[in-house]
Structure 1
Amino acid sequence: MFIARDVVALIVYLASIILLNVWISKTDQEERLRKNLFLTGGLLSLYCLIAEIQQRTFYLVIPLGFYALFHFFYFRDKARLRNGWLFNLFLVSLFVYLGVLSFSSISLITIGILGILGVFALLVLLFGLYSLIIFLLWNSYLVFKRESRSLANLLTLILALGIIIATVIRRVGPDLVPGWSEPLLFIPTAVLLYLFLVFWNFLSISLLYQLNDPKPDQDYVIVLGAGLINGERVSPLLAKRIDRAIAFYHMQSRKTLSPPQLLMSGGQGSDEKVPESVAMKNYALDQGIPDEEILIETHSTTTLENMRFSKDIMEREKPDGYKAIFASNNYHIFRAGMYAKQVGLKADGIGAKTAKYYLPNAFLREFVAILVIKKRIHIIMGVLIVLGCIAVSLLQLFVEWYAG
């Protein structure tokens, strides 16, 4: 009975996925991903519900409850780090639930899912640290070769060196220091583990935020500026931001015959010949966007100012209210969303694709910026980690002294 149920469920899922992807084959990648995730989640929930009805159990309400909690807070305020913790809490509850269902209803499908995840986890435990170091070193080489040699572009190298140093301290340190002081050697590892958890949370919510699907009823698309080539020409990275906004402009125009205005936001740096927004407007004009459909904001020098000054322009243009979104590179839109919220601008972001080799360094740079924004809590946690290791060392010293 259970085998027949699972075979039918698997056939239904595969057929549904194939038909869906044939149907949406001409849509963009983000839209296909959203619909595939929705279909997979819906069919998995339906399968689990049928399996539980057969067993007369209702454990499914636990992960669904955590998802409902995440869903409520996420769509209430998307650009919040707490949403990442809520989503990961949902994932943990889901994996525990799948484990319970695997044995309570003899579910071959959930056993297969957990088996695949288990193999992956085993590979991470066996080779993850060394693979990560090799990957970071290789990625740092690519970034160093293809991008400017600034500190911001060396973050993957810095992280790799930090992991190597912490590993060496943990391996060699115990042979060089008294036994009671060994917990002190754990400080670098503990700090890295804490930062990994925070980074995982940031990465989770940042990737989810990229699934934004704004309605084609916007009045404005804010395009966030970036540095210019030779102080006057749009860089490839900035061009992708503008192209993303233009793509939304055309999509809304096709669906509603009322395209949004593009608001180019970016001031003039000390090494730039023209404001970024002027160069951005010229690029958009070359792409066929009418002059009257482009506004410029020429005073901002940071993402926070992008949002604040753009908000002032939109409120002046439409004092009775407006709808707006913003466009930037995919790794940047979550932090930009945090700044939009900070200035009271109700707008979600749409992300432009970034070269794959640059993404690890880019996400690390965004993570460092997030750490700075929330620096107080992270400093407190760092101090607590250090004090905890010191306390354990002193306790071991006291035990050794008392025993001796």
Structure 2
Amino acid sequence: MFLTVVAVCCAAVAVPLLVNGVRAARRGARSLTRLLTLVAGLAVLALGVLVAVLAAVGTTVSTALLLLVLALAGYLALVFLVFLGAALTCGLVRVTEQAESLVVLGCGLVHGAVSPMLRSRLDRTLEVFHRSVAAGRTPVVVASGGQGEDEDRTEADAMAEYLVARGVPAELVHREGRSTNTRENLRFSQEVLRDAGAGGRTLVVTNDYHVVRTAMTARRTGLDARVLGAPTARQSVPSAFLREFAAVLVMHGWWHLGALAAIVVLWGVGLATGALPA
């Protein structure tokens, strides 16, 4: 019964991932990050097939290997569920207070203009900015994002233009155009805020899937800020959350490698002591 449930769960997870990955490929996606749902779907499907084959063989060796596969896969699944729960919880929290400074993180341009995902971040920034102004504050806004290899200008420039065009005074918008990743976004933006003499409550705006890693990175860089999540387009949710999960795994890579190694060691001890079939 347990193995049947595992097989059904693998199929239930793999099919939507594969469908999303095929759609991404049809839309012209070619990079691994954009096809991550397809890769993940194939991996989950392969896991289901491996579990079924090992269970069908039924030897003591296949049974021992099956236990190891289930333990390793179970650990990764548990970590993903914890990450997903934290990301969804943080992304759903509505920050209603005002801010003295806002940092909006870039995430790529489309033909030199803001992408739908970036527009979501900017619109959330505008929401907080205008709420803060209505409360009598004049928040500084930092548009943070460098220039990608396939971009003809910095994300910061495009973001600043978008904000100014929608009512943010140009003198309150500061451009941070050097960063290439989240850590640099926060570190360089902190320098911009310091140079601008901005103090008080700081809010960092990103997409909901990115909130957890941004908050962890902010703590590491010493930036005292709350992180606010903006909605992610439905078709981008699977690949966005998978990319972010992979990034969080890498961020704590040694911890997870140690946990996986411990599982293998315990499995080996179980075989040697007879606690597991051998």
Taking structure 2 as the reference length, the TM-score comes to 0.88
Matched-pair contact (CA < 8 Å) for 1:331–1:363: yes
Q: Which moved more, 1:157-166 or 1:304-313?
A: 157-166
Q: Check 1:399–1:373 CA distance in 2 against 1; reply closer, same or farther (3 A cut).
A: closer
CA RMSD, Structure 1 to Structure 2 (Å) = 2.6
1:346 aligns with 2:224: yes
Q: 2:27, 2:79 → 1: CA distance?
A: 29
**Runs of 4+ in structure 1 over 6 Å off:** 397-400
Equivalent position of 1:193 in the other structure? 74
Alpha-carbon separation, structure 2, partners of 1:399 and 1:190: 15
Q: Which residue of 2 aligns with 1:325?
A: 203
SS of alignment partner, residue 196 of structure 1: helix
The 8 Å contact of residues 180 and 394 in structure 1, kept in 2 or not, is answered as: no
Tell me by how many angstroms 1:126 deviates: 9.4
**Structure 1: where are the runs of 5+ without partners?**
1-123
Higher relative contact order (CA 8 A, sep 6+): 2
Cα shift at 1:177: 7.7
Letter in 1 for 2:254: R
Give yes or no for contact 1:180–1:396 (8 Å, CA) kept in 2.
no
* CA deviation profile, 1:311-337 (whole Å, cap 9, x unmatched): 111122227x43210111111122111
Q: Tell me which residue corresponds to 1:247.
A: 127
Normalised to the residue count of structure 1, the TM-score between the two structures is 0.62
Q: Which runs of 5+ in 2 are unaligned?
A: none
1:148 deviation in Å? Answer: 2.5
Q: Distance in 2 between matches of 1:297 and 1:399?
A: 59
- Asked if structure 2 preserves the Cα contact closer than 8 Å seen for 1:266 and 1:306, the reply is yes
* Residue in structure 2 matched with residue 282 of structure 1 by the alignment: 161
- Determine the structure 1 residue equivalent to 2:179: 300
Compute the displacement of 1:279 (Å). 1.4
Distance 1:253 1:167, change over 3 A: same
Q: Whole-Å Cα distance in 1 between the matches of residues 159 and 124 of structure 2? A: 13
User: Which has the higher Rg, Structure 1 or Structure 2?
Assistant: 1
CA contact (8 A) 1:328 1:349 kept: yes
The answer to whether the Cα contact below 8 Å between 1:314 and 1:322 also exists between their aligned partners in 2 is no
Counterparts of 2:78 and 2:210, CA distance in 1: 20
Greater CA drift, 354-363 or 299-308 = 354-363
Deviation for aligned residue 1:340: 0.9
Say whether the 8 Å CA contact 2:124–2:205 is kept in structure 1.
yes
Length, aligned pairs only: 274
Q: Deviations over 1:259-312 (max 9, x none)?
A: 422210112233322221011111222223221121111211111011011111
CA contact 2:99–2:129 (8 Å) conserved in 1? no
SS at match of 1:151: coil
Q: Does 1:144 align with 2:25?
A: yes
SS of 1:190's partner is: helix
Higher helix share: 1
